[in-house]
Amino acid sequence: MSLFKKSFIAGSSMFAMFFGAGNIVFPILSGRDASANYIYSFLGWAVSAILVVMMGFYCSMLYDCDNKKYMRFCDSKDNCWPNKISTVATHFLMLLINILNLLAASRAINVSFSGFRILSTTVSQHQTILCVIYTVVVALAAMKPDKIVDLMGKLFTPLKLVGISAVAFIAFVKAPHAHLPVTSEAGACFSTGFSLGYQTLDFISSFVIAGFILNFLKKSIREEGVATEDATENKAKLDKFILASCAMCGVILAILYFVLFSIGAKYSPELAAIPQESLLTKIAQISIGGWASWFVAFVIFISCMPPAISLACVVTDYIYSSILRKKISRNIVLLAVSVVLFVLSMLSFQEIMNNMARLLGAICPTLIVFVLYRLIKYYVGRPGKQQ
């Protein structure tokens, strides 16, 4: 397999890993609320949910997904006071990030059944049992972390990308052409799109999920026989494929997000009383028919599984390696994480979002500035030297 195809798999796997509950709900919600000014809302979203997210993935992989290397300020002295502060800050930050990852994974499980809830009361009546089954499937998949990229790229990505894209594009083509009212000013729409964009948690996830993609790319370079004995040359090749993978993912996201914003705006009159997490199912029901709403419900169900798997795996590995120092079995840690995920998934979508919003507002702006600083330092701070 060529390295271009490997980059495509890596980029599409990146898409599959984090494109879940918030990525489906928020673009349609923002488009609905912005109505005629949905373009401005999309532009704000594109900055925080595409550009910033891809920047986070790219920067993390440039530093080999090594948090100690990534977070330190002084390259020459390990005992300088900024490094001591950054060491403490890194531990605290990783704790916050993994709490957010737990909430994001539980949100994915919660939203996975959202499409079926408006189609059948039976789903709501048996939600506890269904969440147990879903959590068990997530836990079983998370037991094999080395298989995650292949699983995402070859199985979930085609199902997710083809399923959501097909329904979204059909709804886009069949959307009514009625004049849309101006419900908010352009600046307010841009600001709302931007703030909702980082509530997807994709930027936060980039700090931990990027390791799966990086390992896949390194393995691909070795398998294709393009690695040399020159470490600097190998790093340069790897950086190119990292950039190609992030660009591939960014293009997929931009196209799909624009369509979701568009249909949210165009169908806004019919979506006023629909729960946030069920908007796409309702659009399919209106634009295509009853059978399509069941298909969308299934696609949402499938789409929420990859983020839940990858985040459950990340949280498990963090607790297993960084907190417990591998003193007990990873499977026992995974079992405990799965129980917590199940409990959190029983909360309502809005309750989970409220808990996440408090943490996100505190750390996201600082992290964006920090990632920009690390990117500048990588390319400008030490020219010609391997980081």
Among 16-25, 170-179, 203-212, 253-262, which range has the highest average pLDDT?
Answer: 253-262
Q: Domain spans of the chain?
A: 3-381
Alpha-carbon torsion (29, 35, 38, 41), positive or negative: negative
For residues 148 and 306, give the distance between their C-alpha atoms in angstroms, rounded to a whole number. 9
DSSP H helical ranges for the chain: 3-18, 21-34, 38-46, 52-62, 67-71, 81-112, 114-117, 121-125, 127-142, 148-151, 157-173, 186-198, 202-223, 231-266, 279-287, 290-303, 305-317, 330-345, 349-376
CATH class in words for 3-381: mainly alpha
pLDDT band at 226 (very low <50, low <70, confident <90, very high): low
- Flag whether pLDDT at 383 surpasses 50: no
For residues 351 and 354, give the distance between their C-alpha atoms in angstroms, rounded to a whole number. 5
pLDDT at residue 387, rounded to an integer: 43
pLDDT at residue 52, rounded to an integer: 92
For residues 276 and 264, give the distance between their C-alpha atoms in angstroms, rounded to a whole number. 11
For residues 152 and 150, give the distance between their C-alpha atoms in angstroms, rounded to a whole number. 5
pLDDT at residue 75, rounded to an integer: 56
- Flag whether pLDDT at 55 surpasses 70: yes
Q: Which two tokens stand for residue 273?
A: 């009383």
How much is the mean pLDDT over the chain? 80
Position 57: which residue type?
F
Model pTM?
0.77
For residues 245 and 58, give the distance between their C-alpha atoms in angstroms, rounded to a whole number. 9
Q: For the ranges 153-162, 187-196, 357-366, which has the lowest average pLDDT?
A: 153-162
